[in-house]
């Protein structure tokens, strides 16, 4: 199994933000396992941490912006592409402003800084989300089509076509991150069309842009007056040249298909916001930040659903922490009042247990509740939650033999849906706090992933 990775030491460098024009220092710091990527605005009186996840995307104006409340971090995709491309799973990313330095408009400066810091393995195994069925996003108006196909490795193929003679139709593919990412994709620079420059400038964007941080493709006739205007926009000492190769100032591309490679680089960064490394073949026609994010949301939704299923139905992976015989050895309850059949997990760090009750037509209470329409009494669902809470105490209290847990109170009990024969009651109970010999719990009961009941309750430990 592969291990999670982080960097070995802290590393920093400074520059100017592409769209904000703000001076900025980015600092990469090592992070523990399962930390993920987190951006931190250290320039604020109280530093704000923003997880690099799709839920925090707040703007997609020529870049991907994350935010919490009024706090923003602009243009995160090149930073995230560097981290994901190097297979670094966990990193704390501190910023002295609201945007990372743009440098040359690619990811290579971030890659070089991270390699300088060194990469180290952690003890925890790396988790992957493996695509098991086709996932597709289509935007007919913008001719965008993105597909994820099952594949044991993470591979990306991108095609772009802007109907421009200087750019043409281009495609590229990344099939081996270890061999190709650093040399073939990390140096690919961002690009825009000449007709977009003034629009972006009037929108208050590209304040830190220059001809050293982007490729400007000439897609229109340009007058001497326009060149003087561009000199002002890019703060140049003299007007730029039209360029015989269709690129302003005659800039030579690093790769023949550099724009397509940069679009693939952007996609790596945007899809890193899913929050887990992928195993999939991604095929993308004319992708952009907005389409990347919408496509990523589809995959993240599938991933979160899978995590929920693993939590509520670990029997799919044949995980059994405590079977009925072990439960009978511990619990004082017996027929017809033992309401736990199995325990699948106990999280000691969060004091949380997952337990099960299989509800059958043979339950004695169905004879009277109700003969014509059998429904499990709500108070028995609460009792089942309480019994699961009692099993938490078995794990937490070194010697609980000779003691009993008595109900002391129920608070905020809610019953959402009826539980009927054939249902499997999945109970998630968390120990919240303790005061003397009284313990406080939160409990939620599910059937088929839907909440059927929830309550806060407390129990006291007394001698038998």
**Pairing status of strand 215-217 against strand 191-193:** parallel
Helices within 147-223 (DSSP H only): 177-180, 194-202
Q: Which two tokens stand for residue 44?
A: 């604020």
Report whether 41 contacts 98 (CB < 8 A): yes
Q: Among this protein's residues, is 262 annotated catalytic?
A: no
Q: Among residues 17, 111, 109, 30, which one has the least CA distance to residue 63?
A: 17
Report whether 444 contacts 454 (CB < 8 A): yes
CA distances from 434 to 333, 382, 390, 430, 438 (A): 24, 20, 13, 12, 6
Report whether 408 contacts 438 (CB < 8 A): yes
Burial of 391 (0-12, 13-18, 19+ CB in 10 A): buried
What are the backbone dihedrals phi and psi of residue 333, each rounded to the nearest 5 degrees, phi first? Answer: -70, 150
Q: Which of 19, 74, 289, 333 is catalytic?
A: 289
Calpha distance 179→1 (Å, rounded) = 20
Question: Where do we find the tokens 């490795």?
Answer: 153
Q: Among this protein's residues, is 369 annotated catalytic?
A: yes
Which residues participate in catalysis according to the annotation? 289, 369
């Amino acid at each position: 199994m592969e291990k999670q990775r982080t960097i070995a030491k802290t590393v920093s460098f400074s520059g100017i933000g592409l769209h904000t024009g703000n001076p900025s220092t980015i600092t990469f710091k090592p992070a523990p396992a399962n930390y993920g990527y987190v951006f931190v605005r250290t320039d604020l009186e109280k530093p704000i941490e923003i997880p690099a996840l799709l839920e925090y995307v707040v703007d997609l104006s020529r870049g991907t912006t994350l935010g919490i409340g009024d706090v923003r971090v602009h243009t995160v995709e090149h930073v995230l592409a560097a981290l994901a491309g190097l297979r670094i799973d966990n990193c704390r990313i501190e910023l002295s402003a609201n945007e990372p330095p743009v440098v040359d408009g690619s990811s290579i400066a971030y890659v070089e800084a991270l390699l300088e810091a060194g990469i180290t393995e952690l003890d925890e195994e790396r988790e992957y989300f493996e695509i098991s069925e086709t996932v597709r996003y289509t935007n007919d108006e913008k001719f965008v089509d993105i597909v994820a196909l099952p594949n044991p490795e993470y591979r990306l193929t991108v095609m772009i076509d802007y109907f421009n003679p200087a750019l043409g139709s281009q495609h590229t593919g990344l099939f081996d991150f270890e061999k190709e990412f650093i040399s073939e994709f990390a140096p690919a620079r961002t690009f825009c069309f000449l007709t977009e420059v003034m629009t972006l400038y009037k929108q208050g964007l590209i304040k830190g842009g220059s001809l050293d941080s982007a490729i400007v493709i000439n897609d229109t006739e340009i007058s001497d007056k326009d060149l003087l205007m561009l000199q002002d926009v890019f703060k140049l000492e003299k007007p730029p040249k039209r360029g015989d190769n269709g690129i302003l100032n005659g800039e030579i591309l690093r790769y023949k298909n550099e724009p397509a490679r940069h679009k693939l680089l952007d996609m790596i960064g945007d899809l890193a916001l899913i929050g887990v490394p992928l195993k999939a073949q991604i095929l993308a026609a004319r992708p952009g930040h907005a389409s990347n994010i919408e496509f990523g949301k589809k995959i993240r939704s599938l991933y979160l659903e899978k995590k929920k299923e693993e939590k509520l139905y670990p029997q799919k992976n044949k995980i059994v922490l405590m079977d009925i015989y072990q439960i009978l050895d511990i619990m004082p309850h017996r027929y017809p009042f033992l309401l736990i059949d199995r325990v699948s997990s106990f999280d000691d760090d969060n004091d949380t247990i997952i337990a099960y009750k299989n509800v059958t037509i043979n339950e004695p209470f169905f004879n009277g509740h109700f003969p014509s329409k059998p429904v499990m009494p709500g108070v028995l669902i609460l009792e089942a939650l309480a019994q699961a809470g009692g099993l938490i105490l078995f794990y937490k209290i070194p010697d609980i033999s000779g003691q009993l847990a008595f109900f002391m109170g129920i608070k905020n009990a809610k019953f959402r849906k009826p539980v009927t024969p054939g249902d499997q009651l999945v109970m998630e109970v968390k120990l919240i706090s303790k005061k003397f010999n009284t313990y406080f719990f939160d409990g939620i009961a599910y059937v088929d992933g839907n909440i059927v009941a929830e309550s806060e309750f407390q129990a006291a430990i007394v001698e038998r």
